[in-house]
Structure 1
Amino acid sequence: MKKVSFSILGILFALCIYAHCPAKVSILGDSYSTFQNHVVPDTNYVWYFADANEPDRTDVATVDDTWWMRFITRSGLQLEQNNSFSGATVCNLGYEGNDYSDRSFIRRMDSLGKPDLILVFGATNDCWAKVPLGKKGSDDLYTFIPAMDKMLRELPSLYPDARIVFMLNDEIQGDMRKAIIELCRDNNTACLQLQNISKRQGHPDKAGMLQISDQLTDFLHDNGCCRRKCHKQDK
């Protein structure tokens, strides 16, 4: 992938902000996007802790190691809200057939503040919990496809001025991956297909967090950093 130097990156994002492009970022996520004391509301479960990582979990030891803080810091953008919940599924069904309607993505998607850019990083737990795929057009929100479709359809109405990007975990494969890509296409949602992310115990480690940040940065530049015209500057 084409890389952009930090100095040029800062200039590009400054130009985007000056042109009223994304300045405030909100995250709708699961464990991959959590860190102790850095999610809203604070009752959301987290997976990354400052004092309980390696070797039990990963080497991510500070919030500055997370993919989202790396991205926000290097781009000069502002965090509006991080509404991430460890273990959460997109749909209302969770592990062992439990009701996750209190934490699902479709339950939390209306609580993101007033962002200019929304990064949705989910579906990993739907995959791991082996929730039923369901069918598009169904109103069964305890299945994946109807819930994912609802989320992608309603986010633009909830946040009409925000650019929305869905971040697809590289280990989600098969029919669920195909469904996500098709739903993003059908709902005109940008879909970042992450590649070869370093993980421990199924979760991004420090190297993986950097890879996610890098791939997100490249993706936004390659696809336009905002809904309005905002292209890279010629060298």
Structure 2
Amino acid sequence: MSQATAPKISILGDGISTFEGYTPRLGSFYSPSYVSYSGFDSAEGTWWMQAIKKLGGSVLCNNSFSGSYVSYLGHYAAMLPGRIRNLATEEDSPDMILIYTGINDVANDIPLDAFQRDYTDMLQKIHRFHPGAEIWAGTLCMGQAPSSGRPYYIEPEHFQNIDAYNTVIRTCVKAEHAHLVDLAAHGVTYETVNGLHPNKAGMVTFADAWVDLIKQQMP
């Protein structure tokens, strides 16, 4: 990627990538009032804001929604045209789109064939609506059980089939000529507030992993 100016970067994701004020209020897992658990009270603490700054970019749009799926079989699917169109504004289109979504599909056992169909459809719509954007899609990884604070209420057994979904993501990303950010293959894990959503330290770990893996693939 060669940009004379700071690249405009959009995010497509679920609750891990939310923050109230940047994402829909009713769909925001993180907010200033959540600081007692998360350890941060502004979007500056999120992985995506940190990653965008380390990549020398600026935030264009963040269309992330807590509890959302990739597949249309689940809530507020990432493959819906409205969500994908909203990765741009009336004035600007994204230069880069960072995608981290699918963990709710795993937790709720969305059939793998449906997940692959809809992940493919999502990438194809992004190419169609935002033809000038580089697409960077992350594989899914699990966080660590919190050592204190909020109870560990997201149990690991809900995600036992995560490797199969990551295989689908890799297949779709290759087929649709996007860029893979293979967090899972690099063993990325991070501190959490509840076993899944990163806390302040976990956001730093997650951001650094994204930036390292993206920079490795840049010319």
TM-score range, shorter-chain basis?
A: 0.7 to 0.9
Pair 1:110 & 2:85 matched: yes
Q: Which runs of 5+ in 1 are unaligned?
A: 1-12, 95-99, 135-142, 225-230
Pair 1:132 & 2:132 matched: no
Indicate the residue corresponding to 1:33 in structure 2: 17
Which entry has the higher C-alpha Rg, 1 or 2? 1
What CA distance in whole angstroms lies between the structure 2 residues aligned with 1:43 and 1:49?
A: 9
Taking every aligned residue pair, what percent have the same amino acid on both sides? 27
Give the secondary-structure state (helix, strand or coil) at the position aligned to 1:17: coil
Shift of 1:53: 3.8
Pair 1:179 & 2:133 matched: no
* 1:29–1:120 Cα contact (<8 Å) kept: yes
What CA distance in whole angstroms lies between the structure 2 residues aligned with 1:29 and 1:81?
A: 11
Question: Counterpart amino acid of 1:198?
Answer: E
What CA distance in whole angstroms lies between the structure 1 residues aligned with 2:165 and 2:78?
A: 16
Pair 1:214 & 2:208 matched: yes
Task: Give the TM-score normalised by the residue count of structure 1.
Answer: 0.75
* 1:170–1:193 Cα contact (<8 Å) kept: no
Indicate the residue corresponding to 2:181 in structure 1: 192
What CA distance in whole angstroms lies between the structure 2 residues aligned with 1:181 and 1:198?
A: 25
Shift of 1:207: 1.4
Indicate the residue corresponding to 1:49 in structure 2: 31
* 1:44–1:84 Cα contact (<8 Å) kept: no
Query: Structure 1 residues 78 and 123 mapped into 2: Cα distance closer, same or farther (>3 Å)?
Result: same
Shift of 1:54: 2.9
What CA distance in whole angstroms lies between the structure 1 residues aligned with 2:29 and 2:189?
A: 21
What CA distance in whole angstroms lies between the structure 1 residues aligned with 2:35 and 2:73?
A: 28
1:163 maps to which of 134, 144, 158: 134
Indicate the residue corresponding to 1:17 in structure 2: 3
1:149-174 superposed Cα distances (whole Å, 9 cap, x missing partner): 11122211211111000012213623
Q: How many residues align?
A: 190
Indicate the residue corresponding to 2:47 in structure 1: 67
Indicate the residue corresponding to 2:147 in structure 1: none
Question: Counterpart amino acid of 2:126?
Answer: L
CA RMSD in angstroms comes to 1.9
